[in-house]
Amino acid sequence: MEFVEVYNVTNYMDAHMLMGRLQEENINCWLKDENTVTLTPIWTNAVGGIKLMVPKIQAGRAKEFLSTWEKERKSHYACPNCGSHELELVTTPRKASNWISAIGTFLLGSYALAPDQVYHCFNCNAEFDQPIESSE
């Protein structure tokens, strides 16, 4: 049986939640690269996150379900600047503390600290720590 990637996430909690939701829909699935990302989080971007794999024959149904889930998830939060629902949690190296930490840990021979995560609005390009809750 051939499996294909239908979605990827950066942490095991989201991965297991989505895998459980797909299994409730009788879609066979498994997680690829879960151990690597969970045990060595600094490699998350290098391996492409945790991949949700489904049989090729069920990929269409899985993508349809995940698309509906994504729209529902986005509808609960909005940008405090413009009210848009086009938000994503992104990592940002722009803060000065990230650069200072990276330089300091490089000089001390240790690993660099993870960059901060902020919400980014793709409508107005604002970045903020928390979105507002939406009642739509």
Supply angle C-alpha 6, 31, 34, rounded to 5.
125
Residue 37 has pLDDT above 70, yes or no: yes
Q: Which H helix or E strand runs over 17?
A: helix 12-24
Residue 27 has pLDDT above 90, yes or no: yes
Proportion of the chain above pLDDT 70, given as a percent? 82
Q: What is the pTM of this model?
A: 0.69
3-state secondary structure of 68: helix
Average pLDDT over residues 35-47: 87
Q: pLDDT band at residue 115, thresholds of 50, 70 and 90?
A: low
Q: Where are the domains of the chain?
A: 3-75, 79-133
- For the chain, the residue count is 136
Neighbours of 125 (CB within 10 A): 10
Helices (H), 25-95: 34-39, 44-47, 59-75
Q: According to the model, what pLDDT value does residue 136 have?
A: 57
Q: Is the dihedral of CA 80, 129, 100, 9 positive or negative?
A: negative
